[in-house]
Amino acid sequence: MDKEIRKEQVDLETKERSIIEYHTFKLCKLVVESYKQKVELWEQKTKDEELIDNTPNIAERYGFRKTIIILQYLIGENGSYKFPVPQTLETALQSAGIDNQTIIDKEVAEANKYLQLARSLNERYMTLAEKQVDLTYHKLTAKSHSEGLTPDEAKRLEDICEILSSQH
């Protein structure tokens, strides 16, 4: 049985080269892992009450949201989207001739794990962004009263005030 699984894994590695969905899944894994490292760094800096200069911009956040949507497609959670749905990862592997259900289940479970991680990272980022806005506001406001702000800091405080006023 073990030799059979290994042979199937070798077959999978050979056949995966022609499976767009499988490559897409591997790419999504890299995006999620990269984002995870960033969020963990930001969480540590926020815990230490350090200001973060390089939080994700709107384009990066939108891109990460697309990764979540792609992972949803790959595990079959296509929800209410109104356009053609690609093959699920399971269907793509079966179409490529992988007939060992253990391998297919393992790959689908891994995709599901990364989807859950991506959702968790998205939530953590939103909480972190809120904390960073408050932290930045308080630190820069205090600095403006004591020693004055640089032009960059003044601009940043202005941007933060705009964010805060739009939330109320």
Mean pLDDT lowest for which of 9-13, 61-65, 125-129, 142-146? 9-13
Residue 20 clears pLDDT 90, i.e. is over it: no
| Percent of the chain clearing pLDDT 90 (strictly above) | 31
Asked whether 97 and 11 are in contact (CB, 8 A), the reply is yes
Q: Is the pLDDT of residue 120 over 60?
A: yes
Report the interhelical angle of 2-15 vs 101-146 (nearest 10°).
Answer: 60
pTM for the full predicted model: 0.71
* Residue 16 DSSP one-character state: G
Exposure string over 10-41, b if 16+ CB within 10 A, otherwise e: ebbeebbeebebbebbeebbebbeebbebbee
Q: Are 161 and 76 in contact (CB under 8 A)?
A: no
pLDDT confidence of residue 162: 84
Tokens of 38: 């960033």
pLDDT category at 123 given cuts 50, 70, 90 is: very high
- What is the rounded CA–CA span in Å between residue 124 and residue 130? 10
